[in-house]
């Protein structure tokens, strides 16, 4: 098998062992004589998968019992709207910290249904190159929540220390760095994330919501958009994205077998250290716009001395089967997305290519 080195910004690489397991049981799931693609979401066999995905996630992240774990369809973009639809209303405000294109979108959707505030923004000349410091946050103690985007895929920044928001719960879009390491969930009232970067395939979005915030959710919005509907019915109010949840379960099992989130963090730190190490060794050649203390462990972005060299870099990458290295069209340059399931060996091969390329063209 000639596996590509998958640096796609999402959907992204999955563990080969997970794909092999999916393949091996695709025609006969758990001895049912049916594919997992054909089983009823009301069957005992599927329910075991559904509940195992939840309990594995609870175990790996240390999520207390006062949080619900939901599996929804529609993508994280639906959550940009569902969160304020459920939590805002007349006289209720929320704070948004703007660190990139995704937080901008989330804020825009919140404005459509309520009156959110900007608590901070790090936009300078249309770009975001850092995460704000605690003292920059102008927090409203009456806010229902403070919304952050924990990792910014396009600009390559990431919150390394989550903000102190006092008694106001944090709502975080963790689509692009969920499960990258252990973290303390207690300050969070709600976490959401599309699966297709660090959790599984496209098609399912995880929402983790704390009981006290759930109790405040509205019941006068469409039933399918109410968090309460999905919490009450354990994400089985309607047919869930069965197959995507099945893969999430296999991915979580894989993490656990490998050593849990402590191991995952070690891997991710080693991968990022290797790439940023090359960048910092050739500071005249690889120009990283992001402030060092805001660098993302998931997406390293950098420019080369010219667009011509960037194109040459991308052209040469093809021969190595490096996929997905082109920066987002809004910022250009190169982006190395090294999500959870991008193997260290792929990162090592890319790092060597970067070193050779710099030496050849510097």
Q: Do the annotations mark residue 266 as ligand-binding?
A: no
Length of the chain: 362
Q: Do the annotations mark residue 77 as ligand-binding?
A: yes
Give 190 or 221: the residue with its C-beta nearer to a second copy: 221
Measured CA to CA, the distance from residue 331 to residue 308 in angstroms comes to: 16
Residue 321 CB, shortest distance to a second copy, in Å, is: 6
Positions that interact with a second copy (CB under 8 A): 1-4, 6, 8-14, 16, 19-20, 22-23, 26-28, 32-35, 37-41, 43, 72-78, 80-81, 85, 108-109, 112-113, 194, 196, 201-204, 220-225, 237-244, 247, 321, 323-324
Stretch (H or E) spanning 24:
helix 16-24
C-alpha angle with apex 74: 71 to 76, nearest 5 degrees? 80
Measured CA to CA, the distance from residue 137 to residue 97 in angstroms comes to: 8
Phi, psi of 84 (to 5 degrees): -70, -35
Residue 209 CB, shortest distance to a second copy, in Å, is: 18
Give 63 or 85: the residue with its C-beta nearer to a second copy: 85
Q: Do the annotations mark residue 153 as ligand-binding?
A: yes
Start-to-end Cα distance in the chain = 35
Residue 327 CB, shortest distance to a second copy, in Å, is: 13
Kindly list the catalytic residues.
102, 173, 197
Tokens for 162, please give them: 């989550």
Give 216 or 323: the residue with its C-beta nearer to a second copy: 323
Give 72 or 278: the residue with its C-beta nearer to a second copy: 72
Q: Do the annotations mark residue 281 as ligand-binding?
A: no
Q: Measuring CA to CA, which residue among 119, 184, 176 is closest to residue 145?
A: 119
In sign, the C-alpha dihedral spanning 21, 22, 28, 31 is: positive
Q: Do the annotations mark residue 159 as ligand-binding?
A: no
Measured CA to CA, the distance from residue 117 to residue 110 in angstroms comes to: 9
Residue 13 CB, shortest distance to a second copy, in Å, is: 5
Residue 256 CB, shortest distance to a second copy, in Å, is: 20
Tokens for 93, please give them: 């405000």
Q: Do the annotations mark residue 306 as ligand-binding?
A: no
In sign, the C-alpha dihedral spanning 31, 32, 34, 40 is: negative
Measured CA to CA, the distance from residue 317 to residue 309 in angstroms comes to: 12
Give 238 or 311: the residue with its C-beta nearer to a second copy: 238
Q: Which residue ranges are tagged as binding site for L-glutamate?
A: 42
Binding residues: 42, 76-77, 102, 153, 173, 196, 238-239
Residues flagged as binding site for pyridoxal 5'-phosphate: 76-77, 102, 153, 173, 196, 238-239
């Amino acid at each position: 098998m000639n596996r590509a080195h998958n640096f796609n910004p999402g959907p992204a690489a999955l563990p080969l062992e997970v794909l092999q397991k999916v393949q091996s049981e695709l025609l006969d799931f758990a001895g049912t004589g049916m594919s997992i693609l054909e089983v009823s979401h009301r069957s005992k066999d599927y329910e075991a998968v559904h509940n195992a995905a939840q309990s594995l996630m609870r175990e790996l992240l240390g999520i207390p019992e006062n949080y619900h774990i939901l599996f929804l369809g529609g993508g994280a973009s639906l959550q940009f709207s569902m969160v304020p639809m459920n939590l805002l209303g007349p006289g209720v405000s929320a704070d948004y910290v703007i660190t990139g294109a995704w937080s901008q979108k989330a804020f825009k959707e919140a404005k459509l249904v309520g009156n959110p505030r900007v608590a901070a923004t790090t936009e300078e000349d249309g770009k975001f190159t850092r995460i704000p410091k605690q003292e920059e946050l102008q927090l409203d103690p009456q806010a229902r929540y403070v919304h952050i985007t924990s990792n910014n895929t396009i600009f390559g920044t990431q919150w390394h220390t989550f903000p102190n928001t006092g008694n106001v719960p944090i709502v975080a879009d963790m689509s692009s760095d969920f499960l990258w390491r252990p973290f303390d969930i207690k300050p969070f009232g709600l976490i959401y994330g599309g699966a297709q970067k660090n959790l599984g395939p496209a098609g399912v979005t995880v929402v983790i919501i704390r009981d006290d915030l759930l109790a405040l959710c509205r019941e006068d919005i469409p039933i399918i958009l109410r968090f309460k509907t999905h919490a009450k019915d354990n994400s089985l109010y309607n047919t869930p994205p069965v197959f995507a949840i099945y893969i999430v379960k296999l991915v979580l099992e894989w993490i656990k077998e490998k050593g849990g989130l402590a191991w995952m963090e070690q891997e991710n730190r080693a991968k990022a250290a290797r790439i940023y190490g090359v960048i910092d060794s050739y500071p005249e050649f690889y120009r990283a716009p992001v402030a060092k203390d805001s660098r993302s462990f998931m997406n390293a972005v950098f420019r080369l001395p010219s667009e011509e060299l960037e194109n040459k870099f991308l052209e040469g990458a093809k021969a190595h089967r490096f996929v997905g290295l082109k920066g987002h069209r809004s910022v250009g340059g190169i982006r190395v997305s090294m999500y959870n399931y991008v193997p260290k060996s792929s990162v090592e091969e890319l790092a060597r290519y970067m070193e050779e390329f710099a030496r050849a063209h510097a």
